[in-house]
Structure 1
Amino acid sequence: MAAPQVFTSREMIEKLISFDTTSHLSNLDLIDFVESYLASHGVKSRRVMNEDRTKANLFATLGDETQAGGIVLSGHTDVVPVEGQDWSSDPFSVVERDGKLYGRGTSDMKSFIALVLSRVPEFLKAGPKIPVHLAFSYDEEVGCLGVRPMIDSIIRDLPRPQVVIVGEPSSMKVVNAHKGIHSYNTKVTGLEFHSSQTHLGVSAIQYAAELITFLMQLADEMRERGDASGRFSPPCTTINIGTIQGGTALNIIPKSCSFLWEYRPLPDADPSEIITRFNAHVEEDVLPRMRAVFPGASIETTVRAQSPGLAALDGDPGETLVMKLAQCNSAEAVSYNTEAGLFQLADIPTVVCGPGDIAQAHKPDEFIELSQIAECETFMKRLAEYVSGQSI
């Protein structure tokens, strides 16, 4: 039998960063490595594949998976693209400068996964009395797609864990609330005509602009409502228009226009209000005016991604445990979205706590500070002591 593979935190970070797992690519090379690494320590893994079997979630348990009250350590293996970004070094090779490690995924969020994996020998050493479940997903960056079937598998096959720790970058602070995200593609189809005959054509761009104006009016309304909890920044449900495309030439009334948009509702807000009001405005006001000129005009809105927010469960024992491990006196709220809301939707207490700063995510020259790595190492040491039955 081959000797167990051993990696320092730094070595494991370097290894995981070396895999280009941009969301449009496969993550199987990384999964193969992690599966082999865990197997060298006698830990069995199981994969939850996507439909075309080009990507996989990986789930493994350190200890007795049939025991209730386990701790789930969750992270996504995919990263955002580097194309078009001005990197000063190879994004898939870790470079250290001024107390920071640079590379795509160092902050979001391969360092967390690396720190978990490098501590596997420590978790196993004393024989964990409380199981530690490792849950590594694909396609978080494109709508939290991969984790969903893995969560289904967890709730179907395992006793209920006491808490899920999603290791998104939170500067090792405990986050117990975040906003949801709902994103859409709206395509407006009008009627082409010579630009001098505006009364005969139906301008897709003009009506798309009306729809965007309506969304911005809703955004103003959301801003006025504010955030009753007083915890979020910005303190409201937000709406953003991401891209817009349309038209052929200046002297042609445009036939088509499409735009991508999203809203991020507060966790206690009605997640369907904005899309419901948008669709009603389309059907009751905009489409009738378009079809009065051209009966074939249309407005189609399709869902790109939806992921729920995370609602605070103050006083939950799992949250209290993570705060003790992180030595935090209070939990925080953030505006970015994670897989945590999906775990909570499955009735598993969940918090976010991981190394790195979300401000570095998705940027060129993404980095994580070495001090954050050290802080997470201490967190994992305390967790290893807790699951082995020691007091913390």
Structure 2
Amino acid sequence: MSNSLNLLKTLVAFDTTSRESNLHLIEFVRDYLARFDVPCELVYNDARNKANLFATIGPADRPGIVLSGHTDVVPVDGQPWTFEPFQLTELDGKLYGRGTADMKGYIACVLALVPALVKAPLRLPVHIALSYDEEVGCLGVRSLLKALEQRPVKPMLCIIGEPTELKPVLGHKSKLAMRCEVHGEACHSAYAPSGVNAIEYAAELIGELGQIGNRLKAPEQHDARFDPPFSTVQTGVISGGKALNIVPADCRFDFEIRALPSQDPSAVVQELKIYAEQRVLPRMRAASDQSAIHFSELSAYPGLATDAHSEAAELIAIFSGSRAFGTVAFGTEGGLFNAAGIPTVVCGPGSMDQGHKPDEFVSLEQLTGCDEMLQRMLLSISS
């Protein structure tokens, strides 16, 4: 426990907010692994100011287990923290600091296991995978997975250590984030009918999105394993207009779809595009042939739906000590690992109820429980 706690203290002290570099943390982990003669591979972004890390302990010629976590955290800007966010504070059995739950607590436990992994007679390899920019669209892990595709042997299981209170999770929704840009024609507001009000037409499209979302709530669309049990659509950002006495020529809004694993989020976008092209754009172009509506993708990741009867599920049941498989509302990198042919589950210390909030924390009990889960994994794969 002391090793995990000390490592978490070090990890929290690195400000790895997604807008910042994560290299100080990655280089710390690289040097830490080197102390145990564990080599690692760094996969950099184009600017070389961020990197993924991948390391293998044990026999690399057979399928093994990936322990995966993201190194970036969400901003603390504007949040009323009681504690210093980038300094670990222990109080009443809780460890406060940005990233303690999401998800440096898990990474600390994984790193604390390294000395035991190195000494153990492993039948299967254990891989450590750390990624960047998960919080802004699961960006970094894609290049890491691309590098892993070149390897002759794929892992048999990936454990994403997002906070689930150490409950085994086999499913989450996909996410597709989109931007819609509406271009009309400006004029003096006294002659409003002569212009093409981009905000009003954007509002019509947003209203249609709401109708699509309502149809997705129909009982026949439900999957009771999820909360909420249906795919959701929401508009989160909108901007447009210059002044109240000018009919706005431009408006843009960003929206997202979080879809059940059985549903395709792009179907929502396609439905909105058809509505825009057939119902909205003709009226806009009747007033100005320069009118336009453009859609562009901001980010996306697939959902996760691991079979409860699969080997991956069986293994996480052994490691976690529970067969009460669940789902989570938030997304993870698990869908990308799974799409790359690596069966994936989600199980880590802490709760997302504390993630992304001021005074984020993970309990000492949860950190100890994660150490114990990883010890059970070690015992099960040792000769």
Question: TM-score scaled by structure 2?
Answer: 0.97
For residues 283-333 of structure 1, what are the alpha-carbon distances to aligned partners after superposition, in whole Å with 9 as ceiling and x for unaligned? 111111111111111112211100000013121112201111101122101
* Aligned match for 2:268, one of 249, 260, 274: 274
**Letter of the 2:241 counterpart:** G
Q: Per the alignment, do residues 225 and 280 of structure 1 end up closer, same or farther by CA in structure 2, a change over 3 Å counting?
A: farther
Structure 1 residue 148 corresponds to structure 2 residue 156: no
Aligned to 1:62: 57
Secondary structure at the aligned position of 2:165 is classed as: coil
Cα shift at 1:228: 4.1
Aligned to 2:113: 119
**Letter of the 1:277 counterpart:** E
Aligned to 1:3: none
* Aligned match for 1:189, one of 166, 183, 186: 183
Q: Is the CA contact 1:181–1:309 (under 8 Å) kept in the aligned structure 2? A: yes
Secondary structure at the aligned position of 2:53 is classed as: strand
Q: Is the CA contact 2:156–2:312 (under 8 Å) kept in the aligned structure 1? A: yes
Structure 1 residue 236 corresponds to structure 2 residue 230: yes
For 1:294-373, what aligned pairs fall within 5 Å after superposition?
294-373=288-367
Structure 1 residue 91 corresponds to structure 2 residue 106: no
Structure 1 residue 21 corresponds to structure 2 residue 21: no
* Aligned match for 2:38, one of 32, 37, 43: 43
Q: Per the alignment, do residues 329 and 215 of structure 1 end up closer, same or farther by CA in structure 2, a change over 3 Å counting?
A: same
Q: Is the CA contact 2:176–2:266 (under 8 Å) kept in the aligned structure 1? A: no
**Letter of the 1:319 counterpart:** A
Q: Is the CA contact 1:73–1:164 (under 8 Å) kept in the aligned structure 2? A: yes
Q: Distance in 2 between matches of 1:351 and 1:114?
A: 19
**Letter of the 1:388 counterpart:** S
Structure 1 residue 32 corresponds to structure 2 residue 43: no
For residues 228-272 of structure 1, what are the alpha-carbon distances to aligned partners after superposition, in whole Å with 9 as ceiling and x for unaligned? 431011110001111111111211111111111101000011232
Q: Per the alignment, do residues 226 and 142 of structure 1 end up closer, same or farther by CA in structure 2, a change over 3 Å counting?
A: farther
**Letter of the 2:326 counterpart:** E
Structure 1 residue 256 corresponds to structure 2 residue 275: no
Q: Distance in 2 between matches of 1:133 and 1:363?
A: 30
Q: Distance in 2 between matches of 1:292 and 1:374?
A: 66
Q: Distance in 1 between matches of 2:180 and 2:83?
A: 38
Q: Distance in 2 between matches of 1:17 and 1:341?
A: 26
Deviates more, 1:160-169 or 1:219-228: 219-228
* Aligned match for 1:178, one of 172, 176, 180: 172
Q: Is the CA contact 1:65–1:158 (under 8 Å) kept in the aligned structure 2? A: no
Matched pairs, number? 383
Aligned to 1:9: 4
**Letter of the 1:173 counterpart:** K
For residues 112-150 of structure 1, what are the alpha-carbon distances to aligned partners after superposition, in whole Å with 9 as ceiling and x for unaligned? 011100110011122322100001000101111110111
Q: Is the CA contact 2:56–2:125 (under 8 Å) kept in the aligned structure 1? A: yes
* Aligned match for 1:134, one of 128, 133, 142: 128
For residues 60-116 of structure 1, what are the alpha-carbon distances to aligned partners after superposition, in whole Å with 9 as ceiling and x for unaligned? 0011222x2200000000011111111112110011122111111001001101110
Secondary structure at the aligned position of 1:108 is classed as: helix
Q: Is the CA contact 1:71–1:164 (under 8 Å) kept in the aligned structure 2? A: yes
Q: Distance in 1 between matches of 2:187 and 2:55?
A: 60
Structure 1 residue 52 corresponds to structure 2 residue 40: no
Aligned to 1:291: 285
Deviates more, 1:106-115 or 1:81-90: 81-90
Q: Distance in 2 between matches of 1:295 and 1:142?
A: 37
Secondary structure at the aligned position of 1:359 is classed as: coil
Q: Is the CA contact 1:226–1:237 (under 8 Å) kept in the aligned structure 2? A: no
Secondary structure at the aligned position of 2:60 is classed as: coil
Secondary structure at the aligned position of 2:164 is classed as: coil
Aligned to 2:239: 245
Question: TM-score scaled by structure 1?
Answer: 0.95
Q: Which runs of 5+ in 2 are unaligned?
A: none
**Letter of the 1:238 counterpart:** T
RMSD: 1.3
Structure 1 residue 384 corresponds to structure 2 residue 346: no
Percent of matched pairs sharing the same residue = 45
For residues 141-189 of structure 1, what are the alpha-carbon distances to aligned partners after superposition, in whole Å with 9 as ceiling and x for unaligned? 1111110111122232141211100001111001001000000111111
